[in-house]
Amino acid sequence: MNRMRLPNAKYSLISTLLAMRKDQTLRERLVEIALPTLVIWGRNDTTIPVENIEYFKQMPNVKTLIMEECGHTPYVEKPVEFYEIIEKFIDS
């Protein structure tokens, strides 16, 4: 999070997100993920809306989880719950 305070960091992030948005092959390439993967989204994310988790739900090696009462940074907003979710995923 501290990196976002660096000069021009927000512009770099926005540029990356816009590039990803324009990359029409990104969705096609996501299905190539072969390792078990956990995607966690905050229900109240206003940066990248939670509806985007649907892309990941279609992937065979991906488990998805939506954290309630969280925005874009559930690991900051609910760190203990986030850690427990990660720990359970790694142990499984």
How is the chain split into domains, by residue range?
A: 1-30, 32-92
Integer Cα distance of 26 and 12 in angstroms: 19
Q: What is the pLDDT along the chain (92 residues), one digit of tens a residue?
A: 566 677 777 777 777 777 766 666 767 777 788 899 999 999 999 988 999 898 888 888 899 999 999 999 999 999 999 999 999 999 99
For residue 22, report the phi and psi dihedrals to the nearest 5 degrees.
-80, -20
Please, what sign has the CA dihedral across residues 60, 49, 85, 6? positive
Neighbour count for residue 18 (Cβ, 10 Å): 10
